Amino acid sequence: MHRSFAWFLVLGLASCDGAKDEARTLAKAVDAFRKAPMDKQPELADALEKVPCSDPDVCAAKDACTKSAVPTANGIRLQKEVEQGLADLKAGKLAADSTEAKGLRTKVELANVESEKGINALEDCDNRLIRLKVKYSL
């Protein structure tokens, strides 16, 4: 009977270490995303989506943080497309009456919507990360 309990305890501790490692990896990925220059954030949002998780609390935090990072990254990508479009327009590579030029305003609006989604999801991400950091003493 004691041997079964000992194995249960060992397996339980091992799964805690796995969850702690997952939480640490997630926290580092979120920190890297937030500290990165804006032009690097889209690739770091992609990396954040790929952070593995199996623990329900870590997966919930990852989901919350992805709901902030991915729209933010989408907004940045759209901003870059608009900047390039405006540069092409100015350089004469893009006609002012072209469909692409006319679509720049829509891209700006969509970039703003995406950025707003990212901002609105920040609080849930932060709260879940804080709980993980406290739970695992990170």
Query: What pLDDT digit, counting tens, does each position of 25-81 carry?
Result: 999 999 999 999 999 999 999 999 999 999 999 999 999 999 999 999 999 999 999
Residue whose token pair is 């609080």: 123
Mean pLDDT confidence for 101-114: 96
Question: What are the tokens at 13?
Answer: 């501790």
The whole model's pTM is what? Answer: 0.83
- Calculated CA dihedral for residues 100, 104, 110, 114, nearest 10 degrees: 100
- 3-state helix/strand/coil string of 74-132: HHHHHHHHHHHHHHHHHHCCCCCCCHHHHCHHHHHHHHHHHHHHHHHHHHHHHHHHHHH
Domain spans in the chain, listed from the N-terminal domain onward: 19-77+109-135
Q: How is residue 122 written in tokens? A: 């920040």
Residue type at position 123 = E
